[in-house]
Chains A and B, each alone.
Chain A
């Protein structure tokens, strides 16, 4: 006696509210940014904003370069620390749920509070605030974003592949490099994007952990929009550059990854 429900409207209708939301709060703001990038203070069409940014007269390109380097280094350190962590977490996952929790626990605390307390600790230890402390703060904040995707992929690796490799005479090192690492590639790539993109756009971490002395790309965008009047133009150009960077890194993910799951993330 099963009763069959038939939807009067197609199931697609349920996606409409979100579509409208996306249109209003993602697409429209992007268009506004695009328009602002071509306007000067008086609202007239101009290319000055692009000229100013790309000739580096306000130091915009320098800031971008510094941000890219810091983002890259942060990602690398996160990967170097995060991979072994995720690996051992995955290996002893069944018996050690508490351990996994320990790595996710910091994410339960608001990151601003964490960063402020990091600053307090550095000040108490008499550490000079600067590049080192900013880097520390970045790694500390983005490490979970590296570990989590890695952990998920590593846990889902079918153990029989590893056994097969061992059966065929591979030693531990070979098993790791020839089997586990290639199988976790999708996790590595999504970990890298999840760390790199926020790391190049953050402004709060550098603001707090260097007392605003280390001026990054996120700080520059923030300054143009919220600390000055009528300088939306250059700020918009910077935001567009940021957007291009995000798209580029996602494209890179698509090119390097054969995994369908990661591809669909774009």
Chain B
């Protein structure tokens, strides 16, 4: 035993000395600062090691990664715009990227133009063994981004002011997801509304307890609906509901274009005063149907039976559903519904702020390319739950990636039957109610011709821009409406009056009683005084 311990100790010592030597030898260690959402990449330590290997292969240099996280786009924006950060690569959402481009704070990457992307590499990168992964990125996403953010005008003062640029030059898609409705399937069955026909008629109306024909969907839904405590998501859901329920009929924007003729991607960004007013009223009226607004307790409220319906993003929904397996009924308790009329889709992607360190350029570019490797995308898919912006076909063709995914879902990658089952479950799943593939709305639109969902029906939301304040005011109004504390004041005044009155009565009765005693005392012995 002793011998074993001492040999281990010697081995450790040798290792230590060797690594120290190795560190001394290379001297030059590159660095890379990554600024990402919290929990938005597979195991950070494993990623670091893997990327270090990849980087060394490409450049024969060592690299050290600093990984910093943020919680909301707003925090990230504040930190970047205040200019006190020195991060190299950031992963914001599309509307935050739009904002950063407008402020002229990003460096164009041209990832989808292989030559110009490669040209920026320094001579140390071995371009012979470099594989450009841009083609792995889903074309649908690139089209969608190009269509929505095709020409952003730089508004910040400076040399580029007024220049029109395309977001695709700056941004490399990473993850995406849809906005939809998470609901308790068992409860829907109990209420008798768990069938495609009913729900597809109601669509976004599910959140407003509207069956799509002017009536309510189910009496028991009242007080059991959760809304997101987020302006953007609530706004999107409400606008779509208004459109499909015909409440926008006859309304036009300032240019005279009717709202109900706009495609989803245009309507969702048409923030004008008259539309905002209707949204405000609708959200106010919706309050009577709500259980409340949630930030991150939605899943628990649904599973505990406090609420039945929740506005949710696809990734959160996927995660919640996988947690909701019911052993007794051998089924998932929760399900996701992607409304058929119109929907909202969002993207997060990698961009490089102008404050980056030019010495890190190789590392930045290799890192972005590394993330688009199918095996890395597979690991991220498993960890994050949203859809990776990688074509599903690329994952299906990559044995390594499939192995990682299958193992993550506890299928045996060596058994062809199980693999077929897994592939079916993961890539070709189609919900019987909303007839859609929750994970791959793009592929679903391509593969299933009978599916009447169309990728055009999914709109990408831009920044509210100069309408931001008006939207916040409207949201504040809807949130505050319907609460009236005056009755409370009245009841309290009444209660105070009652208590004080009762106390006075008791004291008066006591005084009266005592006086009688005093009087009787007087009559008995006549010489005592009357105090």
Residues of A bordering B, CB below 8 Å: 40-41, 52, 57-60, 62-63, 65-67, 69-70, 72-73, 76-77, 80, 123, 128-129, 131, 135, 169, 173, 210-215, 219-220, 223-224, 226-231, 233-234
Contact = CB atoms under 8 A, between A and B. Distances in A.
A229 B477 contact: no
Interface in B62-90: 72-74, 77
A227 B468 contact: no
A72 B74 CA distance: 35
Nearest to A173: B507
Interface stretch (B38-46, B225-233, B263-271, B343-351): B225-233
B492 interface: yes
A62 B483 CA distance: 9
Interface in B277-300: 287, 290-294
A228 B486 contact: no
Contacts of A229: 73-74, 77, 468
A210 B226 CA distance: 12
A211 B480 contact: no
A140 B299 CA distance: 27
Contact of B294 (A169, A211, A227): A211
Contacts of B475: 223, 228
Given A60-B476, A123-B304, A229-B74, A213 B290 contact: yes
Interface in B430-487: 466, 468-469, 472-477, 479-481, 483-486
A69 B294 contact: no
Contact of A73 (B287, B492, B510): B492
Given A223-B479, A227-B229, A228-B472, A211 B293 contact: yes
A231 B469 contact: yes
Most chain B beta carbons < 10 A, residue from A52, A57, A59: A59
A227 B287 contact: no
A196 B133 CA distance: 61
B473 A41 contact: no
A79 to B, nearest CB: 11
Contact of B231 (A123, A128, A228, A233): A228
A63 B484 CA distance: 9
Range class of the B interface residue count: 35 or more
B480 A123 contact: no
10 contacts: A41-B469, A58-B472, A58-B477, A69-B486, A70-B488, A169-B531, A211-B301, A213-B292, A213-B293, A229-B73
Contacts of B477: 57-59
Given A41-B466, A62-B480, A76-B496, A129 B292 contact: yes
B468 A231 contact: yes
Contact of A213 (B77, B287, B474): B287
A60 B478 CA distance: 11
B489 interface: yes
Given A211-B294, A213-B292, A66 B468 contact: no
A212 B476 CA distance: 12
Given A123-B306, A214-B483, A69 B488 contact: yes
Interface string B305-340: 010000000000000000000000000000000000
Contacts of A213: 287, 290-293, 483
Given A58-B476, A76-B496, 4 more contacts: A58-B473, A128-B223, A219-B479, A223-B475
A233 B492 CA distance: 35
Contact of A230 (B223, B306, B468): B468
A65 B485 contact: yes
A52 B488 contact: no
B489 A73 contact: yes
A223 B73 CA distance: 15
Contact of B226 (A76, A211, A215, A230): A211
A210 B292 contact: yes
A15 to B, nearest CB: 31
Nearest to B226: A211
B82 to A, nearest CB: 13
Given A123-B304, A212-B294, A229-B77, A70 B485 contact: yes
A211 B310 CA distance: 13
A41 B155 CA distance: 14
A58 B306 CA distance: 30
Enumerate the 3 nearest inter-chain pairs by beta-carbon distance, A residue then B residue, closest first.
A211-B292, A59-B480, A212-B293
Nearest to A66: B485
A72 B495 CA distance: 14
Contacts of A76: 492, 496
Most chain A beta carbons < 10 A, residue from B226, B468, B481, B492: B492
Contacts of A58: 472-474, 476-477, 480
